[in-house]
Amino acid sequence: KQEVTQIPAALSVPEGENLVLNCSFTDSAIYNLQWFRQDPGKGLTSLLLIQSSQREQTSGRLNASLDKSSGRSTLYIAASQPGDSATYLCAVLYGNNRLAFGKGNQVVVIP
Amino acid sequence: EAGVTQSPTHLIKTRGQQATLRCSPISGHTSVYWYQQALGLGLQFLLWYDEGEERNRGNFPPRFSGRQFPNYSSELNVNALELEDSALYLCASSLAGYYNEQFFGPGTRLTVL
């Protein structure tokens, strides 16, 4: 079964601290992995996409790593800001072309 | 360039009615995907359409159906609505074929009373 788990479900950090969000997946036969941001009641904003052959991707303050063999990805957000408060979703693309999502990390950055 | 658009933004129906949700993909994209985000359940894959054909279907009952039009826009129909169908329905689009990045729309919030 293709399960995606995100831990912790919720976290609060003071402004300026670095954020570390974890994603694990049970089936390592992935094609790519995406990190999304979702604001309450809204759609998904794609943050980073890592192809299965890649180890990491970076965009501004965001960095995502991928370890396919251990079934893990980590999203790092440097120097967090109150505007980073949102739910972050990890999604894995498998051979059936479906994205399998974790339930998300709900982040609150405290000013 | 316009992103994925969905209509309506909100939809309120009563149990037993039918709901129709619409999605327009990014220009040049021929694949459309539907996902359901129900409270507490996370995002679940519903349907994938490509070039007008249904390519894959998630673990949902047959009363969830859809179609893709020649202009690649798509419609999701939910018949005989049940209370547990209340959810945010997200549409995504991608280039044709497999393993392409999926771009999401803002969603339609369906409430079943």
Judged by CB atoms closer than 8 Å, whether chains meet at B101 and A49 is answered as yes
Alpha-carbon span B113 to B109, nearest angstrom: 13
Q: Using pLDDT thresholds of 50, 70 and 90, give the confidence band for residue B1.
A: low
- Per DSSP, the three-state class of A65 is strand
Among A43, A91, A97, whose Cβ lies nearest the Cβ of B56?
A97
| Strand-pair partners of A23 | A6, A73
Which residues in chain A are contacts of B102 at CB distance < 8 A? Answer: 34, 93, 99
| Contact status of B88 with chain A (Cβ, < 8 Å) | yes
Query: Which one of A1, A44, A48, A96 makes the best mutation probe of the B interface by having the most chain B beta carbons within 10 Å?
Result: A44
pLDDT of B83 higher than 70: yes
pLDDT number for residue A16: 97
Asked if residue B102 lies in contact with residue B94, where contact means CB atoms within 8 angstroms, the answer is yes
Q: Using pLDDT thresholds of 50, 70 and 90, give the confidence band for residue B70.
A: very high
Question: CA dihedral in degrees (B57, B63, B64, B70; nearest 10)?
Answer: 90
pLDDT number for residue A92: 96
Question: CA dihedral in degrees (B49, B51, B54, B58; nearest 10)?
Answer: -30
pLDDT number for residue B39: 87
* 43-102 in chain A: CB under 8 A from chain B: 43-46, 49, 89, 91, 93, 95-102
Alpha-carbon span B94 to B35, nearest angstrom: 14
Mean pLDDT over the full length of chain B: 95
What is the distance of C-alpha A79 from the center of its chain? 17
What is the distance of C-alpha B9 from the center of its chain? 13
Judged by CB atoms closer than 8 Å, whether chains meet at A44 and B45 is answered as no
Q: What is the pLDDT of residues A3-50, one digit of tens each?
A: 999 999 999 999 999 999 999 999 888 999 999 999 988 899 999 999
Q: To the nearest whole angstrom, how far is the Cα of A62 from the nearest Cα of chain B?
A: 19
Alpha-carbon span A44 to B15, nearest angstrom: 28
Q: To the nearest whole angstrom, how far is the Cα of A87 from the nearest Cα of chain B?
A: 12
Q: What is the pLDDT of residues A63-83, one digit of tens each?
A: 999 999 999 999 999 999 999
